[in-house]
Amino acid sequence: MSTIDWDLVRTSLGPLLGGLLRGTLPLTALSFVLGLALALVIALMRLSGRRVVSALARAYVSLVRGTPLLLQLFIVFYGLPSLGLTIDPFPSAIIALTLNVGGYASEAVRASILAVPRGQWEAAMTVGMNRTTTLRRVVLPQASRIAVPPLSNTLISLVKDTSLVSTILVTELLRKAQEIAAPSFAFFTLYGVAAVYYWVVCLALSFGQTRLETRLSRYVAA
Amino acid sequence: MSAPLLEASGLVKTFGTNRVLRGVDVQVPSGSVTCLIGPSGSGKTTVLRSLNGLEAPETGTVRIDDVALDWAARPDARAVSRLRAQSGMVFQSHNLFPHLTVLENVTAGPVLAQGRPRAEARAEARELLGRVGLADKADAYPVQLSGGQQQRVGIARALATRPRVVLFDEPTSALDPELVGEVLRVMQSLAAEGWTIVVVTHEMRFARQVADQVLFLDGGVVVESGPPAEVLVEPRERRTRQFLQRLLDPL
């Protein structure tokens, strides 16, 4: 008996691609974009001069990093209903992943903001910019270049972390593979195909990261 | 005699336990060039940065034209930025915005901070770049320029907000020796055009030739001040003489 059922590979390519395009990729994209926005807020809170604000942000990051993502998913999907708050699987997944990305990425964002030299703030202030304008027009554009490598890491981890949401009934790539494999017990074949899909997506993202780094480094000394 | 354009008095500033300014007074008449000289750690850069609020002295007052600030009254950010808007600054390490072109660096203040029309700001920026000899570099990024060119862009950027006073913080100290001249010449031409200038510098020849007054600082106080022909040529104070002697003969 052959380990890999090539006919099954061929017939499952389409449905698994569906799981990727309808589940994994939208989950990744949505929670990354929302997570980044949250990360910026958390990072700015941590950099705030107000003790209470920065302590709140620090507590949040500690909580997110100190508990498993799987548990965070379960709390949102299985836990909240007992507080009278029932959320559908897909939004639950987006919420949990966003909160998770927000916590992790905030540290990369904060470090990148701090890596922009103090002289840039001073120069912006001496030409009359206020803090918000300085942040938007001077500091964040430079910080975003610095943040590309660590945030690419976060994004690539996120692609694979979305597989965890198969446990809260969201049909993405992994769950699709399970569904197709279950009747025939062809787990090796289906998980193999799913693995290739994940890998290809991550390869493409790594390629995109390199291009973005090149583009953003045009104004930096060679 | 009319009141000086810029007037600071009683500036006191402490970093930790180190009292770097112990009551400094500065008066700068309109259209004049003032050089702050002194050994490192004398407080001259702190004085300059107190004039635009990049440092906040504990006590003392600063007035530029009709905007006055009493540091002892703990002014809020708004008040500080109103004072800061009266001056432009050129930094030792230029601090150009690396992600913006030369032209965008110069228009950043007028457009992003002062809300002036972009077209007008760009035209004026090109004119300023022409005056510092960099008309052909408008679309370059700062990293593509030499140190002297970067510093001249820094000067154009400082002038673009139409400040009453231009503050220079050791503008040539980070430059290779052969690039110092091009920056000093631009500063000299600004002085000739009537700009009011305050410079922290170690360039004694510049101070000799261009300054209207020289302030020698040591230990956080103004030890001696006056026209360069007096302070730099016939100093009254022993500390001034020692400092000048060390510059003349470092070995």
Q: Which pLDDT tens digit goes with each residue over B143-181?
A: 999 999 999 999 999 999 999 999 999 999 999 999 999
In whole numbers, what is the pLDDT of chain B averaged over residues? 95
Rg (CA), chain A: 21
Nearest CA in chain B to A221: B143
Percent of chain A past pLDDT 90, that is, above it, reads 89
Beta strands in B55-164 (DSSP E): 59-64, 67-70, 87-90
Contact B161 A120 (CB under 8 A): no
The pLDDT tens digits of the residues spanning A157-190 come to: 999 999 999 999 899 999 999 999 998 888 999 9
Q: Count of CB atoms within 10 A of residue A197's CB? A: 20
In whole numbers, what is the pLDDT of chain A averaged over residues? 94
Contact A122 B84 (CB under 8 A): no
Contact A117 B52 (CB under 8 A): no
The pLDDT tens digits of the residues spanning B104-138 come to: 999 999 999 999 999 999 999 999 999 999 999 99
User: Tokens 């956080």 map to which residue?
Assistant: B220
Is residue B155 within 8 A of residue B167, CB to CB? The reply is no
Q: What is the pLDDT of residue A113?
A: 97
Q: How far is CA B220 from each of CA A215, B21, B136, B215, rounded to the nearest angstrom?
A: 47, 4, 43, 12
Token pair of A162 as six digits: 């979305």
d(CA B84, CA B54) in angstroms, rounded, equals: 8
d(CA B58, CA B38) in angstroms, rounded, equals: 22
Q: What is the pLDDT of residue A218?
A: 79
> Rounded to a whole number, what is the distance in Å from the CA of A114 to chain B's nearest CA?
16
Is residue B197 within 8 A of residue B190, CB to CB? The reply is yes
Type of residue numbered B54:
L
Q: Look at residue A3 and tell me whether its pLDDT is greater than 90.
A: no
Q: What is the pLDDT of residue B247?
A: 86
Q: What is the pLDDT of residue A165?
A: 95
d(CA A159, CA A175) in angstroms, rounded, equals: 14
Token pair of A222 as six digits: 């060679």
Of A117, A127, A133, the CB nearest to B161: A127
Q: Look at residue A2 and tell me whether its pLDDT is greater than 60.
A: no
d(CA B63, CA B52) in angstroms, rounded, equals: 10
Nearest CA in chain A to B110: A127
pTM of the entire predicted model: 0.90
Chain A positions contacting chain B at CB under 8 Å are 117, 119-120, 122-131, 133, 137-138, 141-142, 145, 218-221
Question: Which residues partner with B34 through β-bridges?
Answer: B198, B213
Q: Which comes out higher in pLDDT, residue B69 or B247?
A: B69
> Rounded to a whole number, what is the distance in Å from the CA of A24 to chain B's nearest CA?
35
User: Tokens 């760009």 map to which residue?
Assistant: B122
Of B48, B63, B88, nearest in space to B199 by CA: B48
Q: What is the pLDDT of residue B1?
A: 53
- Per-residue pLDDT, averaged over B201-230, amounts to 95
Q: Count of CB atoms within 10 A of residue A64's CB? A: 18
The pLDDT tens digits of the residues spanning B40-87 come to: 989 999 999 999 999 999 999 999 999 999 999 999 999 999 999 999
Q: What is the pLDDT of residue B251?
A: 81
Q: What is the pLDDT of residue B241?
A: 94
> Rounded to a whole number, what is the distance in Å from the CA of B110 to chain A's nearest CA?
8
Contact A119 B81 (CB under 8 A): no
Q: How far is CA B2 from each of CA A182, B28, B86, B210, rounded to the nearest angstrom?
A: 93, 11, 19, 22
Q: What is the pLDDT of residue A217?
A: 84
Is residue B62 within 8 A of residue B50, CB to CB? The reply is yes
The pLDDT tens digits of the residues spanning A86-144 come to: 999 999 999 999 999 999 999 999 999 999 999 999 999 999 999 999 999 999 999 99
Contacts of B54 in chain A (CB under 8 A): 122, 125-126
Of A113, A123, A219, nearest in space to B99 by CA: A219
Q: What is the pLDDT of residue A221?
A: 64
Contacts of A130 in chain B (CB under 8 A): 81, 113
Q: Which of B:179-218 have CB within 8 Å of A? A: none
Contact B81 A125 (CB under 8 A): yes
Nearest CA in chain A to B89: A126
Q: Which of B:32-91 have CB within 8 Å of A? A: 52, 54, 77, 81, 84-85, 87-89, 91
d(CA A63, CA A52) in angstroms, rounded, equals: 16
Work out the pLDDT band at B250, boundaries 50, 70, 90: confident
Per residue in B37-66, is it b (16+ CB within 10 Å) or e — as a string? bbbeebbbbbbbbbbbbbbebeebbbbbbe
What φ, ψ does residue B59 adopt, rounded to 5°?
-140, 170
The pLDDT tens digits of the residues spanning A40-94 come to: 999 999 999 899 999 999 999 999 999 999 999 999 999 999 999 999 999 999 9
